[in-house]
Structure 1
């Protein structure tokens, strides 16, 4: 029998610690589990100290965060390019990368302290198929090649999130966002905005059977031939033109004749 601490404050702190990986994590992460455990430890330590995750989230890291994110793998096709918008501490991008080496993933995040953490994690875990990019979604149009899939979790209401993520998609690509109980309501509210952005089909699905309970809710928004609509198509074309002009300019430091 485990003895109870006589110090209530110490007992409370013990309760905020990171627990061992549950059986579901061993099942879904498989051979990647040691790397996932290292990532979880970083979140529980460095992530908390840098303000990337709240200390009271640490005991719930496995069930509420890591497992809730990794089941997104069910919704992402094989061998595609992915942009994780507003990646934050790497959720869902890092768990997805750890089980899907077939994907090419960009973790897009505007805040320096977060991109610094993400780069450290990518290098520590040797995730060669993952790139960290600092910036906002609207700032990287024309710089980041259009992707097959945009992922996101707890970034913004669907209407705003779509305005950031959908223009990053290539034709017939898809945005897959982890949402909660409000998913259906958000889809109804955002319907007109989604249509203007070129979304041709939107569904709400439950994923993670046998891994998470309750199941994770995702909104899937598939675009047609012109992701982002006319306004963003023009912006992408302008950005691409600027990029091409820059590539044709003389190299810096070239000696004048």
Structure 2
């Protein structure tokens, strides 16, 4: 294990972060036993309470379990972890950034397109108006597509809120965190913001939602969000 002593006053989160990184990066393999609390406290340079709290978080994330005999053993995160591990996985670099971006973009396309369909079916008049207003906030033109990220987040937040699906709303938070963990400059360098500056398509999507056209909203959202997926597809090595 490659552990750095912790010097901050509040340390359990830092210990948690380092342990998660070791597991997701594969330096702690499935089946490996973690050292005991005392040894971890000595190696991190913290007290046992901080280690105990960190291990509690790692267990809750589905990355370790208490095995027979009391040892804490690493699990295979691909089987045991939930979506909340996505941003941590992106930060470790255990999965190549372009592959991670593609996977996030594919999930974003599926979730957001269905949310657009549901929004067209379920949204209240006030929620439809919020989607329309958010679409109007996209910049008409910009030399810096990254400037459209705030408008894009506002738009899709309004759409997903209008869908009435709580799981989709929480999923949006996770996907945004995943993008942020990879880094917006990386995304910009790959030319992935082309979708963000298509003001007309977002206005048309808002119109279809306002007109209660679920099939039309789903089709346009799938095409619009599929642009990022298509750009990423050629750069991923399977």
TM-score by length of 1: 0.26
TM-score (norm 2): 0.28
Higher normalized strand content (fraction of residues) = 1
| Larger RCO (alpha carbons 8 Å, 6+ apart) | 2
